[in-house]
A and B are shown apart, each in its own frame.
Chain A
Amino acid sequence: MNNYDVIIIGAGSVGVPLALHLAKDKEKVLVIDKNPSPGQGQNKAAIGGIRATHSEISKIKICLKSLEIFSHWEEETGDNIEWFKGGYTYPVYTERDEKTLKDLLVIQKEHNLNIDWKNPDEIREIIPEINPDGLRGGTFSPDDGSASPMLTNFSMYKKSVNYGAEYLFRERIEEIVIEKGKVKGVKTDKGSYNAPVIVNAAGAYGKEIAKTAGIDVPVEPESHEAGITEAYEHFLDPMVVDIRPDKGSNNYYFYQHKTGQIIFCITPDPNYPGHNRESTSSFLPMVSKRLINIMPKLKNARVRRIWRGLYPMTPDGFPIVGKVKEVEGYINAVGMCGQGFMLGPGLGYYLSKFIEETLPEEDYDIFDQLTLYRQFAGDEALK
C-alpha cells in the first residue's frame, strides 16, 4: 500500500506544482515534507515576482510556461492567487549596466521575448515617480508579473490533492533507499514508501537530501532579506530591478503587490551563506536608502515586517534538474537560486512530461542545459 509511481521530496514551490502535473496525468504521487503544511520552507519567504526574461533557453522556456499557468490560473480554477501582469523594468543609471542589459536584450529578442529598450521618458511613463537624475533608460517586459507565492502554492496543493496526490507532513527523510543502482523508495522517521522515481525538490535542503542517495549536488543556500510595507492605493505597475551594486549589497528589487503593499528584497554583498533566516540590523538602513534614492516618494512608506529567505545557489546561477548517472530513478529538481516560485509551475509541467517520457524532442534542450554534469563555468547574467 506504500507503493507509488513517483515520490517527491519537498512540498514547496517546486514539489507542489510537479505533484499537480503528475497527478493530473494519473500518476500515483506522494509528496513528503518535514514542515507541518505546504509552502512552509522558502515558498512563503518568496516575494512573488515572475518573469520569463532570462538569458538562456532553459529558464526562458520554463518561465514562459509558468507565466501561461499563472496568468490563466484564476479563470481556470476560480482561485485568486493575486496574479498581476505589471511587467518588469530594469532602469539603468550607468553606462556599464546599459551595456549589460543591451547585450542581454539581443539574446532575449532572439528567443522572441516581449522585452524592449525604453528611453528615459518612456521609463518615466512606466514608473512616473522614478528618480530621473542620470536615468539612461532601461528594459521593460510587459508580460511578466507577480502573484502571491503562498496562495499559489496552496491552490496548487489543493488541486493536486483533488487529482489524487498524497501528502505527508511532519516527516523527515532519513534515506533514499537504493538497490542495485536503482531507487526503491524512501525511509522517513515515520515509515517507508516505495517508488521507482524519486524527485529531490527539497529547496534549501537539496544538497542534504541528495547526499542520502550518495549524490553530490553543488547547491549552497544563501540568505537574502526582504520587507513589506503597509498597503497603499495602487501607484506602481512593474517590478523595478536596480542592478547597481552599492556598499553592502548588490542588486535589489521591489514592486507593489496586487493588494497594495510594497515588497522589497536585497541581495547582500558579501552574501550570508547557510540556513540562518533571522533578520539583521543592517538590512533596513541599507535598503531604505536605495529605495528612496530610486523613488523618493517611498520615504513615507511604512515598513511593517522584514524577513529573510534562502536562495539555494548553484555555481553558475542555473538550477540543477534531471537524472543522474549513478542512480536510476533519482531526479534532481534543486538549486533554483531563489527563483523556485517563478520556475515551479513551468518546471513541474516539463519535468512531469520528462518523467512520463512524453516530452517532445524539441524540449529536451531544457534538461541538457540544466544537467548536473555541465561545466558550471558560465554565470547567469541576472541571477
Chain B
Amino acid sequence: MNKYRIKSHPILNVKEREKVTLYWKGEKIEGYKGEMLASTLFANGVRIFGHHHKDNSPQGIFCANGQCSQCMVIVNGLPVKSCMTPVKEGMRVEPLENYPKLPESNEIPEFGPPRIIKTGVLIIGGGPAGMSAAHELGKKGIDTIIVDDRHRLGGKLVLQTHKFFGSQQACYAGERGIDIATKLESQVKSHESIDIWTNSVAVGVYVDKKVGILKDMNEYVLVEPKTLLITTGAREKSLVFKGNTLPGVYGAGAFQTLVNRDLVRASEKIFIVGGGNVGLIAGYHALQAGIKVVGLVEALKEVGGYKVHKDKLARLGVPIYTSHTIVSANGKDSVESVTIAKIDDHFNIIGGTEKTFKCDTILVAVGLNPVDEFYKKAKSYDMNVFSAGDAEEIAEASAAIYSGRIKGAEIANRMLSLDEPVPEEWKKTGDVLKSKPGKLHKRRIPEKEEGVFPIINCVQEIPCNPCTTVCPKNCIKLDGDSIMNVPLYVNDACIGCEQCVAICPGLAITLVDYRKSDDYVVVTVPFEFEEGTINVGDKVMTVDIEGNEIEETEVIGIKNVKINNRTPLIKLKTSKENAKNIVGIKIQENIVPEDSIDTSEIPDDAIVCRCERVTAGEIRKLINDGVHDMNQIKILTRAGMGACGGKTCRPIIERMLRQAGVPENEITVSTDRPLFVEVELEKFAKGEDKNE
C-alpha cells in the first residue's frame, strides 16, 4: 500500500496512523482508520471504481467531495459514495457495475418523526466564511448551529498548505491555510452559544421554512432557524473535451483532497487545465508532494491567477502554455496522455499546433461557481436568508473570511436590534480582498552592489502586505495607501534578517548579500521542499523571475528554522552579474512533448453530463432540432437528472445554447428540487423525536 502513500511532506506532518484491513474484490487491502474509502482505494492503486450502466465506461474519482456519484462502490452490499465513506475494519468493497442491487431485508426499523430544532441562526457550511460569521455571532451570544458535511470545520482551508495573501492584521496573511483553519475552528469552539454539527449534511430547504439536515450522517432533523446563513462555498466548473470523463480527469479540489488531506500520492505526473489561482496552487502542491507537473494550459493570453503563483510554478520548471487549450485526454481505461493545442483570438484551435504529453492525471481548474441553491430556495420561500463567501461571490479565501465576518456581525446586530454598524474599515478591506489582480509594474532593482538588501519580485498589484509588517527596520513599504499596491524597498537599512524572504506567500523576495567576499555574492531564496531535496554542496539550476535558466549554482547553506514556518531558505553562491536576477531553483527537468495527434473541434462524443453519460452530440442534436428549453433537454436526455442534479452540466448546456445562438432570455432556468445529496429512506423514517 505504500507505493501511493506520501511518506514525508515539506509542510504536512505525516503521522503514524492506525491501520485497518478491508477487502477490494475479495483481495485484502490496507487503509488507515478514519480516512475516506476513495483515498484508501487510490492509495492501493485502484483507479477504476466501476462501470457506468449506460455505456459501460470506467468510473473513478471526479469531485471527491460528495457531490457527484462517480466514485460509487458497493460496501457490504450497499451502494455508497466512496469519497464520503470512512473505512472500517473488515469492510467488503466491490466495484459498482451497472445498477446496484437493493439488498434484501425483512427488518422494519423503529419509526419516529424527526426532531424539530429551533435556533437563532443556522449556518450551512463550515469553511472560512461560515467560521468567521459564527465567531461574530458567538461573540454576541446568539444561539447558532453551524453545519458541515466534513468531520471537522475548515472547509477548503484544510487543503491549503501554502501561505496566504492579504493583510496580516486582517486575515492571517503569511500563515498557511491549514493553520488558519485550526485557528478559526478553535475560535468557533470557544463560544458556548454555538452548536457545531460536523459530519452533517443539509439536504433540502422546504417551503415551510425548515431545513432538513442529516445529522452525524445518521439522524434526520428539521431545523427551524430565525436567520439562515449560506456559506456553502463553490464548486468547480467542468469542461467538455474528448475523454473528459476518463478516470484520471478530475478537479483540482479533488486532487488537493487526496494529496493534502489524505496524503495519497494520487498521481505520478499531472497536467493542469486552467491558470487561475486554483490551478496554479494545485500545481505547486503537486510538486511539494513529489508529483511531476508536466504542464499547465490557459486559454487566455495571460494566466488569470496571481503572477507570483505563476512565476513560482514556472521557476520550478513547469511549462505554462497560455493561449492554449486541452484537446483531449487520451487513454483506454484511464488517462495515459493529454493533447493540447494553440488557439487563436476566437478560441479556435490552430491546426498543426497539437502537442501530446504523457501523464496519468489531468486536473481541471477552469473556475468556480457559487453553491447557491439553498440561498435561492430559501429566498424564494421568503426566509430570512443571507449568503457569504464564495456562495455569494467567488473570491479568495481571505475575502471569504472577511465577508463571513461582516455578515455575522450584521446578522448579530439585526437580531439583537443593536445600533452598532459594522466598521466601514471592514467593508473596505473586504472589498479590497475581493479584487482581481491589477496592474503590472517593472521590477525595481537597487543599483548598488554592496551590503545586503532584498530584491522584490512582486510586480503585480494584489492584496498582500506581510513583507511590510514583518521588517524590523521598516525597509519595505507599499507603493501607495492601498494593500493592493506593490511593495518597494525604500529604506536602505536592511540587516539581512531574512524575515521578508521567509514570509512572502508568493516566494517573491530574495536577499542578496555582498558582505562575504569581493569575489562572489550570496543569494538567499525560499524553497518549500522536503529536507534532502537539496543539500549543501549541490549544484542547482537557478532561474530568473519567470523561470528562465540562469546558471548552475552551488548551494552553500540551508537554513530551516521554526520561525520561518516550514519555509527553508537556501543560500546560493553566485556572481555579481547574476545575483540580482536569481529568484528561484528549478527542480523539474525540461519536458518535451510526444508525437502529436491531429484533432479538430470538440467532438460529439465528449461527455457533458457525467452522471447520466450524455454526450455533447446528443445535446447538440436536440438544440439543432429546436429544443431550447433546459427543462426539455433534461427530460429528453436525462442530463441533469443524475446524482449531482445538474450541478456540473447545467452551465455547460447553457453555454451550448448560447453558442447555438439561442437568445439569453429564451434560455430557461432549470428547476431545482431537493435533495442536495441522496439519503436512504430509512433515515427519514427513523426520527428521534419520541414526544409525538
Contact = CB atoms under 8 A, between A and B. Distances in A.
Interface of A: 35-40, 44, 129, 131, 150-151, 154, 229-235, 260, 276, 278-282, 284-285, 287-289, 291-293, 296-307
A40 B208 CA distance: 25
B286 to A, nearest CB: 34
A231 B79 CA distance: 11
A303 B636 CA distance: 21
B423 interface: no
Contact of A232 (B101, B629, B641): B101
29 contacts: A39-B632, A151-B636, A154-B635, A232-B101, A232-B102, A279-B204, A279-B207, A279-B673, A281-B204, A281-B212, A282-B208, A284-B212, A292-B685, A293-B108, A297-B102, A298-B681, A299-B105, A299-B681, A299-B685, A300-B102, A300-B103, A301-B680, A302-B79, A302-B679, A302-B681, A303-B679, A304-B675, A305-B673, A305-B674
B222 to A, nearest CB: 5
B492 interface: no
Contacts of A306: 204, 673-675
Given A288-B684, A304-B643, A150 B208 contact: no
- The interface centre, meaning the residue of A36, A39, A293 with most chain B CB atoms within 10 A of its CB, is A36
- The interface centre, meaning the residue of A36, A44, A300 with most chain B CB atoms within 10 A of its CB, is A300
A288 B685 contact: yes
B102 A292 contact: no
Contacts of B668: 36
B206 interface: yes
Given A36-B666, A36-B668, A292-B109, A150 B685 contact: no
Contacts, number: 152
B404 interface: no
B627 interface: yes
Interface of B: 53, 69, 78-79, 98-109, 111, 113-114, 204, 206-208, 210, 212, 220, 222, 380-381, 627-629, 631-632, 635-636, 641, 643, 645, 666, 668, 673-675, 678-685, 687
Contacts of A285: 113-114, 220, 684-685, 687
A293 B636 CA distance: 34
Contacts of B78: 300
Nearest to B633: A37
A303 B102 contact: no
A278 B102 contact: no
Given A36-B631, A150-B635, A305-B641, 14 more contacts: A36-B666, A278-B206, A281-B204, A281-B210, A288-B684, A292-B111, A292-B681, A293-B111, A297-B106, A298-B681, A300-B680, A301-B102, A301-B680, A302-B681
A276 B207 contact: yes
Dominant secondary structure at the B interface? loop
Given A150-B636, A230-B678, A299-B109, A281 B631 contact: no
Contact of B628 (A35, A36, A39, A287): A36
Nearest to B223: A281
Contacts of B206: 278-281
A142 B113 CA distance: 36
A36 B632 contact: yes
A233 B105 contact: no
A131 B107 CA distance: 10
A300 B682 contact: yes
B304 to A, nearest CB: 34
B103 A304 contact: no
B241 to A, nearest CB: 27
Contact of B635 (A39, A229, A232): A39
- The interface centre, meaning the residue of A233, A297, A299, A307 with most chain B CB atoms within 10 A of its CB, is A299
Nearest to A284: B684
A349 to B, nearest CB: 24
A289 B208 CA distance: 21
A344 B526 CA distance: 73
A93 B636 CA distance: 39
B564 to A, nearest CB: 49
Given A281-B212, A288-B681, A299-B680, A230 B106 contact: no
Nearest to A228: B641
Contacts of A44: 631, 635
Contacts of A299: 105, 108-109, 680-682, 685
A131 B682 CA distance: 16
Contacts of A292: 108-109, 111, 681-682, 685
Contacts of B100: 230, 232-233
Nearest to A43: B635
- The interface centre, meaning the residue of A151, A233, A285 with most chain B CB atoms within 10 A of its CB, is A285
Contacts of B380: 278
Contact of A278 (B98, B381, B641, B666): B381
B108 to A, nearest CB: 5
Contact of B102 (A37, A235, A307): A235
- The interface centre, meaning the residue of B106, B643, B673 with most chain A CB atoms within 10 A of its CB, is B673
B116 to A, nearest CB: 9
B623 to A, nearest CB: 12
Given A151-B636, A279-B204, A279-B674, A289 B111 contact: yes
A313 B53 CA distance: 39
Contacts of B685: 285, 288-289, 292, 299
Contacts of B210: 281
Contacts of A151: 635-636
A120 to B, nearest CB: 15
Contacts of A232: 99-102
